[in-house]
């Protein structure tokens, strides 16, 4: 009887797979780690991640947190190493883009590699092509450059997403090169969330998209009525405002875009600890919390854009290329509507001033602020852009005197208790700037500090990005914490723009396992968990009864975990 029951469950799992053929997970052999053995920290991180066996001349005897990934040593090119955090476009093309193109053409002709991983010590910012080179560090000047089509600054990582596209050219009547401005990300799911109170649509795993035309050059067009070249660009992209009903060879799909992540924190030991936390993540749905702190909002999921930072759209309201909805409210509603996590553990706050500024217990703010003590999985916060005063702001004396008083505007991200699998995505222009020796992050919260203090993942901005290009926390909630995508996939499904200023930190192969579906408590979800569930069905989404929705959660989670099950659990 038991054997037949298991066959039924396996059939159900296979049927679910047939219904969604694009379910294959991102795998280690599809990840290329880029490092430079002449830069000690870069080599050390590559060795810690890929394992010493993958690194020629390795000296640390590391098993690797993700053995099986592929590696590319920039030292093998014989070109001068890039040791500065900022590089210009000629150096980017000559010493990074072109060598990578050549390596991929020779070693990955079938386009199996989906994800590029940059390591600590490699440059992370591309300076502006038009003087001043560092215009992105000045918000007002950056705004003028952007609307005039003169803003080519980018994160190195984001520029690498379209590695095979020649962005320093223009065509189709465009007067400025494609490098100026942002390209709408074809993997971004925000288009489907416009005008909605919560996010329902779930992006397919990236392996469902072909890479056959990744190297084909696209002609990008200007997106947005009345805009000049060099603000928003788009090709004929599926699932975007510029798509057509009959895709052609000009389509830019998620398969044509590399997922790009970076392994870095404030220190080398902090980077290694971040990687350790990304292995076998299991979140307890009954105890873990989430922080969504908006500040000076109406608290309502608006169906059109307004003055709130999370809900601005440029240039044309809800039809703007990068507009995906009222993000902070959508994130809160998506979490609470799903039901698997305890709604009372999701902190949403719409108010301003120091009493409403959310903080954790790890820093001393004289008892001020809205305190959250439970371990949190997501920090979505207005941060330094919080309206009004912040906790302990303007104070110079500690009470008691022996307790060091912190400035909450740029330390709040270090104050929280963080669960393994915690991510930071905040509404701050320079939260991704404090790498490569840059410190602090221009008075704002820093993802480098968050990762050093126990975070696992982060999305940040390395130059002034403007609020409408910041990644969507609602999409991150849907795809990482409630869905079954890897961190790399979930991060890119959350980003409206590529070839712009965003940066992704953390192990792209990492996945979240929820205790609700992990019925046997071994930090993975497989057919055994589905069998356990069928023997004793449970109310996973807290509706007061067991329904088909609960079983669907189990089937989807087990289906997504098949490959980890076959390949074995990663090392503890």
- CA 77 from centroid of its chain's CA atoms: 30
**Which SS3 state, helix, strand or coil, does residue 52 take?**
helix
Which domain does 531 fall in, by range? 516-572
Q: Is residue 206 part of a domain?
A: no
Please give the pLDDT value at position 439.
82
Q: Is residue 529 part of a domain?
A: yes
558: how many CB neighbours lie within 10 A of its CB?
A: 26
For the chain, the helix, strand and coil percentages under 3-state DSSP, each to the nearest 5: 30, 15, 55
Q: Is residue 61 part of a domain?
A: no
Q: Is residue 166 part of a domain?
A: no
Please give the pLDDT value at position 312.
87
> Which of 72, 71, 70, 73 minimizes the C-alpha distance to 29?
70
Q: Is residue 201 part of a domain?
A: no
304: how many CB neighbours lie within 10 A of its CB?
A: 13
CA-based radius of gyration for the chain: 23
Give the integer Cα–Cα distance in Å for 295 and 304: 18
70 DSSP β-pair partners: 32
Q: Is residue 222 part of a domain?
A: no
Please give the pLDDT value at position 1.
34
The residue behind tokens 């038009």 is 130
Is the sign of the CA dihedral 339, 340, 342, 343 positive or negative?
A: negative
Q: Is residue 546 part of a domain?
A: yes
pTM value surpassing 0.75: yes
First to last CA, the chain: 35
484 and 7 Cβ atoms separated by less than 8 Å? no
Give the integer Cα–Cα distance in Å for 75 and 43: 10
For 129-179, where are the E strands, in sequence order?
154-155
> Which of 490, 501, 445, 446 minimizes the C-alpha distance to 468?
501
Please give the pLDDT value at position 174.
59
Written as tens digits, the pLDDT of the chain (572 aa) is 333 434 334 444 444 433 333 347 899 999 999 999 999 999 999 999 999 999 999 888 999 999 999 999 999 999 999 999 999 999 999 999 999 999 999 999 999 999 999 999 999 999 999 899 999 999 999 999 888 888 999 999 999 999 999 998 876 555 678 888 888 898 998 888 988 999 998 988 999 888 998 999 888 877 765 565 457 776 655 555 445 455 556 678 889 999 999 999 999 999 999 999 999 999 999 999 999 999 989 999 998 889 898 998 887 788 788 889 999 999 999 999 999 999 999 999 999 999 999 999 999 998 999 999 999 999 999 999 999 999 988 877 656 666 788 889 989 999 999 999 999 999 999 999 999 999 877 889 999 999 999 999 999 999 999 998 999 999 999 999 999 999 999 999 999 999 999 999 999 999 999 999 999 999 999 999 999 999 999 999 999 999 999 999 999 999 887 654 334 333 33
Instruction: Indicate the number of domains in the chain.
Output: 1
Distances (CA, A) of 417 to 63, 341, 380: 29, 17, 14
Give the integer Cα–Cα distance in Å for 250 and 564: 35
For residue 550, the surrounding DSSP H or E stretch is: helix 548-560
Please give the pLDDT value at position 567.
41
Q: Is residue 339 part of a domain?
A: no
């Amino acid at each position: 009887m038991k054997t037949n029951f298991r066959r039924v469950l396996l059939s159900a799992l296979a049927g679910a797979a047939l219904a969604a053929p694009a379910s294959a997970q991102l795998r280690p052999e599809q990840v290329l780690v880029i490092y430079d053995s002449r830069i000690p920290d870069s080599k050390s991180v590559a060795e810690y991640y890929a394992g010493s066996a993958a690194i020629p001349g390795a000296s640390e005897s590391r098993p690797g947190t993700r053995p099986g990934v592929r590696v590319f040593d920039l030292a093998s090119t014989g070109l001068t190493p890039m040791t500065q955090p900022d590089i210009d476009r000629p150096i980017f093309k000559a010493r990074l883009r072109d060598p990578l193109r050549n390596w991929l053409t020779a070693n990955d002709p079938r386009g199996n590699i989906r994800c590029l991983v940059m390591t600590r010590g490699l440059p992370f910012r591309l300076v502006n092509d038009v003087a001043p080179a560092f215009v992105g560090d000045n918000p007002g000047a950056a705004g003028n450059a952007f609307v005039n089509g003169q803003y080519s600054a980018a994160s190195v990582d984001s520029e690498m997403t379209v590695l095979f596209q020649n962005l320093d050219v223009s065509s189709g009547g465009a007067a400025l090169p494609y490098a100026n401005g942002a390209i709408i990300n074809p993997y971004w799911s925000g288009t489907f969330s416009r005008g909605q109170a919560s996010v329902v649509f779930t992006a397919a795993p990236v392996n469902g998209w072909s890479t056959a035309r990744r190297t084909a050059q696209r002609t990008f067009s200007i997106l947005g009525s009345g805009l000049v070249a060099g603000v928003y660009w788009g090709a004929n992209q599926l699932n975007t405002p510029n798509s057509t009903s009959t895709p052609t060879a000009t389509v830019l799909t998620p398969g044509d875009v590399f997922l790009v992540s970076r392994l870095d924190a404030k220190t080398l030991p902090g980077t290694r600890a971040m990687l350790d936390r990304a292995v076998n993540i299991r979140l307890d749905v009954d105890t873990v919390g989430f922080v969504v702190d908006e500040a000076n909002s109406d608290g309502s999921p608006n169906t059109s854009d307004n003055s709130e930072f999370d809900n601005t759209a440029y240039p044309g309201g809800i039809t703007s290329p990068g507009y995906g909805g009222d993000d902070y409210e959508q994130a809160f509603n998506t979490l609470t509507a799903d039901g698997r996590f305890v709604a009372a553990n999701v902190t949403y706050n719409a108010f301003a001033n120091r009493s409403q500024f959310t903080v954790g217990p790890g820093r001393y703010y004289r008892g001020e602020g809205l305190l959250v003590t439970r371990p949190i999985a997501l920090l979505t916060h207005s941060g330094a852009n919080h309206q009004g005063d912040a906790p302990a702001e303007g104070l110079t004396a500690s009470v008691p005197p022996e307790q060091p008083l912190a400035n909450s505007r740029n330390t709040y991200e270090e104050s929280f208790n963080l669960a393994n699998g915690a991510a930071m995505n905040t509404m701050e222009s320079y939260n991704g700037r404090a790498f490569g020796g840059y410190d602090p992050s221009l008075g704002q919260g820093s993802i480098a500090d968050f990762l050093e203090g126990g975070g696992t993942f982060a999305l940040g901005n390395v130059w002034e990005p403007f609020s409408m290009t910041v990644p969507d926390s609602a999409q991150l909630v849907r795809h990482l914490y409630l869905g079954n995508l890897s961190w790399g996939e979930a991060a890119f499904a959350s980003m409206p723009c590529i070839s712009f200023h965003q940066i992704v930190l953390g192990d792209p192969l990492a996945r979240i396992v929820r205790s609700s579906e992990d019925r046997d408590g071994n930090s993975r979800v497989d057919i055994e968990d589905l069998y356990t569930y069928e023997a004793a069905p449970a109310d996973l989404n807290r509706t007061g009864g067991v329904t088909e929705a609960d079983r669907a959660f189990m089937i989807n989670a087990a289906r997504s975990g098949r490959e980890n099950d076959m390949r074995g659990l990663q090392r503890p």
